[in-house]
Structure 1
Amino acid sequence: MDRTTQSLLKENRVHGDSMFPLAAYWIELPSGTHVLDTHWHEEAEFFMLLEGEILFQLDTEYFPLRAGEAVFIESGDIHAAYVLNEDTPCKFCALVFLPDLLASAQYDTIQQNAILPLQEKRQSFPRHITPDVPWQQELLHHLEQMMEAYANKMPGFETFMKGTLLIMLSKITAEGRFENRSQSDDADTTKINRLKKVILYIQDNYQEPIRTRDLSELIPMSEGQFCRFFKMMTRKTPVDYINSYRIRQAADLLQQSERKISDIAFEVGFDNVSYFIKVFRKAMKCSPSEFRKGAG
């Protein structure tokens, strides 16, 4: 597994810096490897699939994504990706940015007619961008150009990235091209907010024992009802999701230090080293020590 994956999934990761809040990530995954756990972040994101076929989740919506297609993810959208073909490797690029990057220095026509509607989700990109639609194919071409510019860090690439995003915004101003997501279905919003509350609790408390009962009481639901709800929303049981999150934190620590594997296991919330190694191997297709060597 590409070692950038774990860092990409950290909700508190800084993408770029305060002067240029944009970053791109290329991820390559072997056949059969899980793609993305359910998560979200404050930044918007273009997710472009370069190889393979996956099932993408955006809030409560699911759709297949094929190589050459992309997804636009709004700030705060819950999203995840699942393997559709166990025999095919997966490769994608994620372009993550704060919409504020595009803001005008003063309130002008561009701010009024393009930037503000994007920030308020009144005039946004289509969620699923496909080459089958000619004007969407133009968007994909712009994404490819931005990926190349970012990868090569060509002189002035920051200006090119911002300018290209503005050009892409101009392509969706025509009626029927943009989507208005400022109003959401109340039932879906309730589900999403409940899930976010649980995931935030897991992120804040993963180093300590977490019982399913603790999570169910946050919403609140009965324990059985909660387990069904969580599995429906994330395609994982609560225990599997917690273990997956802990493994991602352990992977970061294995890359960043030479600390004992047992110490790392205890720090991320596992109380049994053998169980930690078993769960790590299942998730990462290698042992913690092999992962550390491969990351060096």
Structure 2
Amino acid sequence: MIHLSEHFLKGRRLETLVENQTSYFMNNAAMHVFETHEQAKTVLLKFEQPVLASMIQGKKIMHLRDYESFDFLPGESLVLPANESMCIDFPEAMAKNPTRCLAMAISEDKIDKVLQFMNENMPKDSREDWGIMDYNFHFVNDRGIFQIIQRLLFLFTEDHPSKDIFVDNMLRELIIRVLQSNERKIYSNATLSIKSESRLTEVIRYIRNNVHKSLQVEQLSKIACMSVSNFYRTFKSELGISPVEFINNERIKLAVGLLQDPNRSIKDVYLDCGFESRSYFNRVFKTRQNLAPGEYQSKIKKSRLLD
């Protein structure tokens, strides 16, 4: 989980209790930390540049265009194109437990230069050019992206004569890693790719509301009023992954959040996420996070001790 330093918390000013904004500006990017200290609904926000938003603390409910709304939780990020309107709810924000989110707005000129570098030096196997995403990409931070965001948070707030150079280099790596993650589609962005009128909308909602329970494809196909074979084919066609992959993605997203609590045992976490065995949970988690659950939790504990 991304952490805000005591230096940052003591130095910023709270001028409003809803989406209080603390901003830092560099040559090619601006970093904004938003804090909300009371429950709120339908808060509107838009950036003129492409933005990477990363949850730090608490929970937001995001409403984007005409797609199904979704929970935005710590350990997750969201890439938005320029001038994308967001409508945000804060169902749990309070003074003692504020909702905090980091938004990194990056100049399109910087992104274009990185894309040019990638196309010249890192061509895709498909021979298609790398390009900026023209839609919303919602994903769980892998270890590399998490460390870059944490480092950028430090660099933006540091008083160093060369920090523009440091930030510029970190931004290039961040853009490359995010675009590569999007290309691999390790984490389902189905929240944002399935429109509200789809027959699968109710299935997606059911999975998210019952992710801690045993879920069977046969059960889900009945909710969609389809045969099992047609449901499986339609699901994979619309979302790009199988129903089981989607369920596991949702469970791992939940597990990432639960593992932020150092007092939770691994057994409690995998049972609360709907996994029936620790070995299967370990295998799925490590595939998506490149770390075993215990290693991930230890890393979170260590990073907090270093703050």
TM-score range, shorter chain: 0.3 to 0.5
* TM-score (structure 2 length as normaliser): 0.41
